[in-house]
Amino acid sequence: MTQPLLQGRVLLVSAGLVALAMLLAGAFGLRGPAAGEAVQLRQAQLWWSYSPHWAPPAALASADDAVLDASTPWSDVDLPYGGDRAVSGSGDLAAAPPEVRWFRAVVPPEALVPTPQGARLYIPRWQTVGTVAVYVDGALAWQTRGSRVWNSFNRPVWLDLGGLAQPGRPLQVHVRMASQQGVGGALSSLWAGPAESLRLSWRLRSLLQADLVVYTAGSYLVLGLFALALWTLQRRRGDVVFLLFFLMSLCQLLGSLQFMVDGEGLTLSDGWFSWLTLAGLMGATVAAFHFLCLMQRRRRPWLARVLQGYVGTVLLVAVPLWGPAHETILPLLRLLMVPPEILVLCMAVAGAWRMRDGGSTMLAVWMLLSFPIGFHDLALQSYLISIESIYLTPYVYLGLFTLFLLVAYRRYNGALAVAENANLHLAERLKAQEAELAQAHERLLAVEREQTLMQERQRLMREMHDGVGSSLMSALRVVEFNQAGTVDLVQLLQECIDDLKLSIDSLEPLDCDLLALLAGLRYRLGPRLEGAGLRLHWEVSDLPALPWLDAQAALHVLRILQEVLTNIIKHSGAREITVRTAQAPLDGRAGVQVLVEDDGHPFDRAQAPTEGRKGLANMRTRALALQARLDWVPLAGGNRFTLWMPLERAGP
């Protein structure tokens, strides 16, 4: 799918979502609940009071006018009601006494039927510059707070009648509206009935009139802050689309603040708050202009200067430090926004005609739709249409924000395409290098295998020469010189076989397990010990693994212990041998030890025969290769041999 087509479809989906929201509002939230579930009061009585006070009385009985007098001239009016509003007025009217209207309506008993959640009074909308209060059976039930201008006019009224309603008895509702002279006032129809039937309508209207505006503005501001962070990191590239997105989100939030005011009012003065919303709306228009220039790849510097000069002049003139109060000229201030919006519309239409793509066309259509929506809101603000409508201007910016997101998406997609091409090129190079490395690795493995085989052959040759070969040569000489009668030839051949088996056992994989190596030694030499009349006691305990215990080291350990056991058999005259293992640190180094104890004659190394001294020298050489320690201590009833080995060797 091409990018323009995708852009157009997404904008179309955005427009559809807004239209769907409007349809839902019209079907449920704005039209109210279905007939028979609640009562809609479309008729009321109106009376213009002569009260000079803005604040409502605490109760109707304490009112300073004749609202409760039987002679009060009430007149019938239809709801929703809208009074006349001037486009602008003088600043003196802000200090003048208010125009006070009283509305009176009766809630019939059938709307007050007891339900689990009770009855409610629901007023979808009211609007004026002033104060509003609602009385139920003469008692004050609700009133506006905050300032006279920004006083939660965009939030529906929701009153609990459970404590006031009595079965079979109607309720009388009074609405007091004190308005600034010349600005008029409006009141929607009233709904009364069970909370279960009115809640959906109240929640939908609250969502569409205020909450959804808060959610969308807050969401886009979060995205705008993220875009600002991206622009800060990438401003050297001169890419201002992220900055424009942030400015657009900020201005849209400021322009929508008027629809978010709750019942507690503001901490900012009315004049500055009104100026701030005006600055936000005009700033959003300027940001949209520059965004269109970016999209159409046309700078239009002189138009930019004209637009910025116009907006700057309007904002300067509208500063609350001089001129009339803003609440008297709100419709006029909204009319001043029409020229820059016409300029942006012309740019969008011209760009769509020149570029002929789906995105530009949808943007032009969207801008065209913004004008009837803007005039709709202006008419709603001036009470020229039903007050039960909702302000739609905040939702116009949804399409513009969507377009901003699409631009960011296209740039991100383009960056991904470039990165993907670069990654493909790098992948090809990496694949070639991997093939070369694989070949080199195979060559190294082959060389390493050959070297390992050569080292093993050399080790086996050396062991065969020094061990089995030496024993066989001794046996051969015995036979050659007819010494079989003086030398135990069978024992000599058995030693040759033991040497051969131990050499073979050293080739078995041990996984650095010393106990497995000792078990193999016991298996090989056990029959020989039994044949010599020796009783073997095996008292080994678990030992940690020795990482350095390879085939060569294993053979060294086996040869040392074989030499020890052979000496015991030949020279000690022992009857019992005990083999123990334990963990034993030595000189601050962790290690393990193998102890071999016998009950034979004490061993004196100084009086050892020549072949014994040669065996001891071989044992020391092997122990040095293992970085081990040997110790042979004579005891009162035997000997103790200790082979200590470190857990970690210091080096090769």
Same domain as 221, residue 190: no
Does 349 lie in the same domain as 497?
no
Given pLDDT bands bounded at 50, 70 and 90, which one contains residue 523? confident
148: pLDDT strictly greater than 90: no
* pLDDT of amino acid 573: 83
| pLDDT in the model for residue 555 | 82
Return d(Cα 266, Cα 274) in angstroms, integer: 11
Q: Is the pLDDT of residue 48 over 90?
A: yes
Residue 479's pLDDT band (cuts 50, 70, 90): low
Q: Would you give the end-to-end CA distance of the chain in angstroms? A: 66
Q: Considering the chain, what percentage of its residues have pLDDT values greater than 70?
A: 77
Mean pLDDT estimate for the chain? 79
Are residues 341 and 402 located together in one domain of the fold? yes
Q: Which of 437, 20, 15 is nearest to 204 (CA)?
A: 20
C-alpha to C-alpha distances, 112 to 31, 126, 193, 518, nearest whole angstrom:
21, 23, 6, 96
Residue 18's pLDDT is 53
User: Has residue 611 been placed in a domain?
Assistant: yes
Q: Residue 641's pLDDT is what?
A: 93
Report the number of distinct structural domains present in the chain: 3
- Structure confidence at residue 478 (pLDDT): 62
pLDDT value at position 80? 92
Distance of alpha carbon 180 from alpha carbon 244, whole angstroms: 39
pLDDT band at residue 408, thresholds of 50, 70 and 90?
A: low
- Confidence check: pLDDT of 593 > 90: yes
Q: Is residue 475 part of a domain?
A: no
Neighbouring C-alpha atoms within 13 Å toward the C-beta of 495 = 22
Please tell me the predicted confidence (pLDDT) of residue 57. Answer: 93
Residue 610 has pLDDT above 60, yes or no: no
Closest CA relative to residue 148, chosen from 84, 97, 204, 217: 97
Judge if 364 and 216 occupy the same domain: yes
Run of H or E residues at 294: helix 270-296
Is residue 518 located within the same domain as residue 617?
Answer: yes
Residue 108 shares a structural domain with residue 247: no
Question: Between residues 478 and 576, which one has the greater pLDDT?
Answer: 576
Residues 6+ apart with CB under 8 A from 37: 193, 194, 197, 198
441-455 confidence digits (pLDDT tens): 888 888 887 776 676
Task: Decide if pLDDT at 571 tops 70.
Answer: yes
Last residue of a domain, one of 387, 412, 437: 412
- The per-residue DSSP string of 210-239 comes to IIHHHHHHHHHHHHHHHHHHHHHHHGGGT-
Residue 244 sits in the same domain as residue 156: no
Q: Is residue 426 part of a domain?
A: no
The domain that holds 631 is classified in CATH as 3.30.565.10
Q: At which of 395, 412, 429 does a domain end? A: 412
Give residue 352's pLDDT: 78
Which parts of 210-327 are beta strand (E)? none
Q: Is residue 264 assigned to a domain?
A: yes
Q: Is residue 66 part of a domain?
A: no
pLDDT at 617 over 90: no
Predicted confidence (pLDDT) per residue in 62-96, tens digit: 998 888 888 889 999 999 998 877 655 555 566 78
Residue 526 lies inside a defined structural domain of this protein? yes
Does residue 615 sit in the same domain as residue 541? yes
User: Quick one: pLDDT at residue 23?
Assistant: 47
C-alpha–C-alpha distance, residues 95 and 85, integer Å: 18
Summarize the confidence of residues 617-631 as an average pLDDT: 88
Does residue 537 or residue 479 have the better pLDDT? Answer: 537
In a domain, 479, yes or no: no
**Cis peptide preceding 80, ω within 30 of 0:** yes
Summarize the confidence of residues 262-280 as an average pLDDT.
Answer: 77
| Mean pLDDT to the nearest integer, 223-251 | 81
Indicate if 385 and 266 belong to the same structural domain. Answer: yes
Give me the phi and psi of 649, to 5 degrees please.
-85, 145
Is the same domain home to 215 and 141?
Answer: no
Q: Considering only CA atoms, which of 330, 338, 308 is closest in space to residue 383? A: 330
Print the domain residue range for 396.
3-27+209-412
Please report whether residue 33 resides in a domain.
Answer: no
Residue 29 has pLDDT above 50, yes or no: no
Q: Give the span between the Cα atoms of 325 and 18, in whole angstroms.
A: 34
pLDDT at position 533: 83
Give the residue-averaged pLDDT of 629-634.
90
- Cβ atoms of residues 93 and 169 within 8 Å: no
CA atoms within a 13 Å half-sphere pointing along the CA-CB vector of 263: 9
Going by C-alpha positions, the residue among 53, 150, 152, 142 that lies closest to residue 98 is 53
Tell me: pLDDT of 28 over 80: no
Distance CA 406, CA 295 (A): 11
**DSSP symbols for 157-179:** EEEE-TTT-BTTB-EEEEEEEEE
Domain match, 183 and 222 both? no
Domain co-membership, 320 together with 357: yes
Q: What is the pLDDT of residue 87?
A: 53
